[in-house]
Structure 1
Amino acid sequence: MSAGAYGMSMASNYNSRGRAAEVLVDGDTAYGVRERESPAQLFAGESRLP
């Protein structure tokens, strides 16, 4: 099973959208492997103009 273009390897911040959380499913068990990107993380690399 694959997430295709919706997986983290193909994710981007296009239109200022944060990256989604990732979940690994093994049989009947689900594991959170990456948390959703917060707005603070999304804009951390930005700076204001003077």
Structure 2
Amino acid sequence: MLWGMSFWQRVRQSNLLGLLVAVVFVVGLCLLGLAGVALVDGFHLAGG
């Protein structure tokens, strides 16, 4: 928890780093969402 707080404080100090982290975070969520949908569709197609 303490490490996370210090990490976010560092991110706030650097706008560029914060922007990069935000972009990576959003892209990661999108990829996870697409992967989840693909897995669910795959299970349905497999009859599971």
Q: TM-score, normalised by structure 2?
A: 0.30
Which protein has the bigger strand share? 1
Asked which structure has the greater CA Rg, the reply is 2
Which protein has the bigger helix share? 2
